[in-house]
Structure 1
C-alpha cells in the first residue's frame, strides 16, 4: 500500500519553450478511446471486481467520469488511514472518506477499506506515545471498532492488516508487533469482524505476488489463522511491479492461497517504467497488465484487480522512485494507454487502440488582429488554439493547458475559457462544437505575461 500523489507532479512530455506552436495528439474525450464496453461491465461479466484507488478531492470532471464509469470498486488512497481520520487523539475527520463512499454509492460501486493496521501514516500522537501493552491493545481495538462501525454495511472489504512481513518472511518490527506480539493480527481481524460481520477481511502485503519467502510466510499465517478459526477472508497482493518483471509464479501463487479457502485480490497494481515512456515500453507494459489480469481471471477465487490510481497524474511512483513513472493505464491527460486495451482484452472484451493523431490541438501566439504586428507586447499577448481532426470527428471539445510562467487569460472569443491558478480550460461555444473529419475550429484569447511567455502543452479532453 502506497500513498497517492496530490499534485500532477512530473510531466512525461516536457513543456515547449518560446512562442512556437505546439501540438498534442491526445484524447478527444474519454469515450473516443475507451472500449465500447466499460471495463467494469467486462469485469462483472467475468464475476470480477475492477477497482481503482482514488483521491476524494479529484472526483469531479474527467477524473470523476472515468473513476465512476470504468471501475466497479473504489479504494481510498489515503482517506481511511489512521493519520487521516484521527490526526489528533479523539478528534476525527471523516470528510474525504465519506465523500468517496458517497461517490461509490452514487455510481453503484463497492468500496475497499484501506487500511486499519499499518506501520506507516499513523498520527504522531500514537507513534510518539509511551504505551503499556494493555493501552496499545485498547487503542488499536478502539480505532478498528470506531472506523469499521462507521462504515458498517457500506464497505465490501477491508485491508485489515497491511505489510506485516519482512522480505525474508520474518515479522516486520512495528509499533504493533513490538508492542503486542504476532497475535496483533488475529486480534485485529477478530475486532474488525465483530464491528462488521458482513465485510470481507484481508491481510495485504507487497512483494508477495510470486512464490517466495515472503509470500510463503503469508501463506503459513493464513493457514494458521484459518485453523484457529480467526475470521480471515482473503489476501491482498499489492503488485507494485516493474516493467517486464511480472512473477512467472503469479497464477500458481494465487491458486495456492485460493486452495486454503480464502479469496485473493490484486489490490494496488501499477507497473512502473524508467522515463521517458516510448512505444516499446508501453507495449511491454500492456503485456504485463494483461498477464496480471489473465492470472486473476484464471482463478475462480481471485476476486479482482485494483489499480493504484488509474491515471499517471495521480500516481505515487515519480515521487518515490525518481526517474520512473507512467505506471497506470491512463496518461496524465486521461488518455488510455495500450495497457487499457490489454486489460479490456484480458476481461473478454475488445478494444481498438486510440487512433494516432485523430484530433490535434495546436497553440500559438498570433499576429495581433491580423494587422501584421507581432501578437506579443510588453505586458500581454494574443494567442489562438486550432483544433483539427483527421479520420475522426468531434461533437464537442474542451482544451486544457497549464501556464508555466504566470500568464493570465484576460479575454477569449469563440470559446468559454476559465483559469484557476495556472490551469486553463476552454470549451466550445454553442455554435462551434462540431469538428468534422478534415475540418478545424480556431478560438482566440488575450492574456498577460511578465518576464517570459513559454508556450504550454495543450490537450483535448
Structure 2
C-alpha cells in the first residue's frame, strides 16, 4: 500500500489504497458508446498515433486482480511502478538492495510490450528509518550509491526516471528534507549527475505536484531547471503530477508546459487524476470529462509534452479517498471497471478533439427513487463537444425482471429487453456542452443497466429499427 503525507491542495500518490468509498445508492455514471473514430483503439494506441504515450501507474497488490490486470495490460502503452521502486523497498537496510517487488511489475510491463517509468529515486517520504540516521558527512555518498545501484540494476529497461520528487514547498522554498538539511541545495543536481552516470540513455526527470499551472512553486522549479540547463546538469524532463480537482484545472496549464519545453526539456503529466466531492452526479461526471479532455489537449498542443500517466486507472484502487475524506471518483474507470465519461473525453482528445460525424453524446443513468416492486430513474444526455447535435438516441438492455412503464421528455420503444429512448420534439438540439434529461418509471428491482449508450443525430419520431 501507499503511505502518503497530508498536505494542502493536490497531492502525489504514495501508497495505492483499496476501494473507493461506495457511491450513493442508485448512482451510476454509465459509459457512452466510444467515438466512431476510436471505437477499436485503446488509449495507448491513440496516444501513440500522436507520438505520445498514455499509461497507468500500478502497485503489486493489484496484480492478483485478473480483471484489473487484463485492462492494465491491454489499454496502456506505459506503466509506472507506483510504489516498490521507492527507497524503503529497494534498500530497506544500508547496503542491502531488494528489487523483487519492482521486478514483478517491470516484468509484467515487458511481457505486455509496455514501456516503464521509474519512480522515484530520491524523495523525503517512504524512506527507511536508517537514512535519517546517516551522518551529514556521509549522506551524499549514501544517496549517490543508492541511485547508482538502482539505476544500474534497471539500466536499459526504463524510459524515464523520476530522479528527485517533491523538493519544493508551495511558496517556492526548498522542502526541508533530510537531504536538504544534511547536504544542502546541491543534492538535487548531484542526484541527477549520479543517475546520468549510471544510465546515460534513460531520460531524467524532476517530478512534483501543484506545478501544473504558473505560480510560486512552478516558478521555483522553472528557475531550477533553467539553472541546471545553463550549468550542464543533466536534466531531461519535468514531471507535472497533475493531481487535479474537477472544475479547477489551471487555466495556465498549456502555457506552463510550453515555458518548460522552451527551456529545452520534455514535460510529462506523470500522475494524473481529477477528483470530485462525493457522491458522483451526472453534472460532476460531465465536468470531470471536460477537465480530462482539456488536460490531454494541453499536452498535445506542446510538442515536447511526451506522455500522460494516470495514477492508476480505476477508482477501485485510487489513493484519493484515504487522503481527502469525502472526495474520490477521480479516474476514468469506476470501481467496477466501467468506463466513465472521462474515458471517452480522453479518447476524443487523443483522436484530435473532434467529434464523430454529428457529434458525440453521453448518457448517465441514476435511480432517483425506489420502492417495493418499482422505481424511478433519470437519464442525463450530454453533448460532449463544441459542435451542436440535432437529435439523440439512448439505448440499453433491461436487467432481468425489470420493465419500463412510461418515459417523460423522450419517446420510448421497447423490443423484448432492448430499450430505445429518442429525444422529444423540444429537447433534441444540444449546443456544445449542453445537456438535457428524461425520466422513467420502472417495475422490478432498481438495478442499473450496464450498457447505457447515447448516439447523436437521430431526431424525434425516427422509427425504431
TM-score above 0.5, yes or no: yes
Q: 1:325 to 1:23 in 2, by over 3 A?
A: closer
Q: How many residues align?
A: 369
Q: Distance in 1 between matches of 2:449 and 2:154?
A: 39
SS in 2 for 1:161: strand
**Structure 1 unaligned blocks of 5 or more:** 15-21, 358-363, 365-389, 395-436, 441-454
Corresponding residue to 1:11 among 8, 22, 32? 22
State the 1:4 CA deviation.
3.6
Q: 1:24 to 1:232 in 2, by over 3 A?
A: closer
Q: 1:52 to 1:280 in 2, by over 3 A?
A: same
State the 1:93 CA deviation.
3.0
Q: Does residue 295 of structure 2 align to residue 284 of structure 1?
A: no
Q: Distance in 2 between matches of 1:353 and 1:331?
A: 19
State the 1:289 CA deviation.
0.7
- Listed as ranges, the matches of 1:100-249 within 5 Å are 100-127=105-132, 129-133=133-137, 135-249=138-252
Q: Distance in 1 between matches of 2:54 and 2:239?
A: 14
- Listed as ranges, the matches of 1:42-441 within 5 Å are 42-59=46-63, 60-127=65-132, 129-133=133-137, 135-348=138-351, 391=396, 438=416
CA RMSD of aligned residues (A): 3.3
State the 1:25 CA deviation.
8.7
> With structure 1 as the length reference, what TM-score do the two structures score?
0.73
Q: Distance in 1 between matches of 2:278 and 2:296?
A: 24
State the 1:391 CA deviation.
4.2
> With structure 2 as the length reference, what TM-score do the two structures score?
0.73
- Listed as ranges, the matches of 1:15-54 within 5 Å are 35-54=39-58
Q: 1:200 to 1:186 in 2, by over 3 A?
A: same
State the 1:95 CA deviation.
2.1
Contact (CA 8 Å) 1:53, 1:76: kept in 2 or not?
yes
Q: Distance in 2 between matches of 1:262 and 1:230?
A: 12
Q: 1:277 to 1:224 in 2, by over 3 A?
A: same
Q: Distance in 2 between matches of 1:459 and 1:120?
A: 43
Contact (CA 8 Å) 2:398, 2:449: kept in 1 or not?
no
Q: Distance in 1 between matches of 2:313 and 2:416?
A: 32
Contact (CA 8 Å) 1:241, 1:272: kept in 2 or not?
yes
Q: Distance in 1 between matches of 2:364 and 2:320?
A: 27
Q: 1:9 to 1:178 in 2, by over 3 A?
A: same
Contact (CA 8 Å) 1:56, 1:96: kept in 2 or not?
yes
Q: Distance in 2 between matches of 1:161 and 1:174?
A: 12
